[in-house]
Amino acid sequence: MMGSRFARGVVPLLAPLVVLVALIVIVLRVDTNAVEAITGPGRLDTLVVEEAVVPKTVAASLVSSGRRSATLRTAPGRAGTVTAVSIEAGSTIRTGSPLFEVNGRTVLAAATERPFYRPISPGASGPDVEMLGQLLARLGLVDPSVVGRQAGWELVQGIDRLWRQLGDDPGQNYQFEPSWLVWIPVDEMVVADSVLEVGMPVPEIIGGAVGAHAAARVVLSDGSELPRDDWSRYRVQRFNGAAVPGVEPLLEDVVDDPGRYLESTMGAGGSGPDAGGPRATGGAQADGAQEASYSLVLQLPETVEGAVVPLTALLGAPGRQCVVVVDEGRRETRAVDALGEANGRPVVEGISPGDRVLATPDPVAFRCPG
């Protein structure tokens, strides 16, 4: 009897408690569902903006005609015996580099618009005379102001200085001979192979060489072309998806010889041409070089401030990235620009202090705008 009275007294007391527990469960379930409805899959973090100062970087693409090959030939009718050899495979040759000697006289490499085809004597005229004057000026043998299409007194004096520089023959020589030179198509080339040996008759073909082609352009991620005059302001952080080993080279050096940096980054995780940048309009060029495109990350000397975010917060691909911002029940994918990194974390612009972002957004549920 007592037990039944006790039970009847306790039940009314427990009823409100049961109702309260049920309400808490409902509220928690509704709150959890509401958060998931807002954020989708992923964890909600409050972004604490660290205004890190980092070097400004920009994405770009180098469109280059690559390396140009050339057959190293002596001038027609060149006769004699090779008495010394100055080059071997791997040697770098430029305008004015000694290649070999014939009967004790040096033969130089020369990058000119086209090969010389005839002797040039006092009074001669024509575009090849002007080309010879430009070459002599580059070699420091005449003043550039005397260069013209006519072989005047100043030019023939330069011819004589070149003659004396190539050997120790007595007397003067005012007639230029094409056999004094071996033509190369660009100003710097690397000897690929050489057949020269001391004691052999001078061969028509002395070997082959490859060099960087000057026809190249740098295209920024917005499609605009970077002016050539600005190349010296930029350094290259990444080449074809891999960090450039050692000191970051100047852009103009990479443009001069992209093959050199392609080889160095292949071992660092880089890839072949057309990796991540705008594709070049491919195909062989008229001079035999092959056009290719290489992705670049360039660094400017100026610095910028941005927000540091978790790497996992970024969606999209370089050049088109975003984060998911949650604000008062709304979610928004907001585009950001990567400025660099601080302590291994991305530094971006496009979000404000106090923004709440998803630290690990689901790439299936959220897509970057555009």
Tell me what pLDDT residue 213 has: 58
pLDDT given at position 186: 83
The percentage of residues in the chain with a pLDDT greater than 70, rounded to a whole number, is 75
Q: Report DSSP state, residue 203.
A: P
> Does residue 179 contact residue 202 with C-beta atoms inside 8 Å?
no
Contact 304, 54 (CB under 8 A): yes
CA separation for the pair 172, 169 (Å, rounded): 9
Structure confidence by residue, pLDDT tens digits, 145-180: 989 999 999 999 999 999 999 988 878 889 999 999
- CB 87, CB 99: distance < 8 Å: yes
Report how far residue 214's alpha carbon sits from residue 115's, in angstroms, rounded to the nearest whole number: 18
Residues 6+ away with beta carbon under 8 Å from 2: none
Portion of the chain with pLDDT greater than 90, in percent: 32
pLDDT tens per residue across span 176-213? 999 999 999 888 888 989 999 999 999 999 999 887 65
Model confidence over 24-55: pLDDT tens digits?
Answer: 443 344 333 333 444 445 555 555 556 667 77
Share the mean pLDDT of the chain: 78
Select the more confidently predicted residue: 349 or 28. 349
Instruction: Give the residue among 217, 239, 196 at the shortest CA–CA distance from 84.
Output: 196
For the cut 50, the answer to whether the pLDDT of residue 270 exceeds it is no
123 has a pLDDT exceeding 50: yes
For residue 216, what is the enclosing H or E element? Answer: strand 216-220
Instruction: Supply the pLDDT for residue 29.
Output: 41
- Give the count of beta carbons closer than 10 Å to the beta carbon of residue 95: 17
Cα-Cα end-to-end distance for the chain: 77
Cα(207)–Cα(163) distance, integer angstroms? 24
Residue 203, CA distances (Å) to 51, 72, 91, 131, 320 in order:
67, 10, 19, 26, 57
pLDDT of 116 above 90: yes
209 Cβ partners below 8 Å, 6+ apart? 69, 70, 72, 93, 184, 189, 190, 191, 192
The residue-averaged pLDDT of 219-246 equals 85
- Higher per-residue pLDDT: 300 or 112: 112
- Distance, in Å, from the CA atom of 189 to the CA atom of 192, rounded to the nearest integer, reads 9
The whole-number pLDDT of residue 23 equals 41
pLDDT in the model for residue 287:
43
The token duo for 270 is 């880089």
With a cut of 50, say whether residue 57 has pLDDT above it: yes
pLDDT for residue 261: 72
Instruction: Count CA within 13 A, CB hemisphere, residue 224.
Output: 5
pLDDT value of residue 34: 37
Cβ contact 173:163 at 8 Å: yes
Tell me whether residue 280 is exposed, middle or buried, using C-beta atoms within 10 angstroms of its C-beta: 0 to 12, 13 to 18, 19 or more: buried
Higher model confidence: residue 49 or residue 119?
A: 119
Query: How much is the pLDDT for 51?
Result: 64
The bridge status of strand 181-184 relative to strand 105-111 is parallel
- Cβ-based neighbours of 271, under 8 Å, separated by 6 or more: 240, 241, 242
The model's pTM is 0.48
Cross-strand partners of 107: 100
